[in-house]
Amino acid sequence: MRDLRPRLGEGLLLYGNTDVRMLAGTREELEAEILGKLPAAMASGGYLFAADHSVPNDVSLENFRFAMELIRRHGVYD
């Protein structure tokens, strides 16, 4: 995602690319996964947040809610 967006620009719709394994990690790992990709993904518009696979059973509801909170705070277009 960080590589494709600069090369393909506005003509590319990006979807996903969030590593679901990080959703089961610590809050710091989860925050690094999401915030490390959002700026590049959202550049020029056309990004939809999603996990790269189905969310596994080892992801706590607390972590999933934290991820959604991060997206609501940092992943909304003006």
Q: How many domains does the chain have?
A: 1
If one compares 20 and 3, the residue with the highest pLDDT of the two is 20
Q: Which residue has the tokens 């996964």?
A: 33
- Entry pTM: 0.79
The domain in which residue 54 lies consists of 4-74
Q: What is the pLDDT of residues 21-72, one digit of tens each?
A: 889 999 999 999 999 988 888 887 888 888 778 888 999 999 999 999 999 9
Banded model confidence at residue 13, pLDDT cuts 50, 70, 90: confident
Q: 27-35 and 61-74 helices cross at what angle (nearest 10)?
A: 30
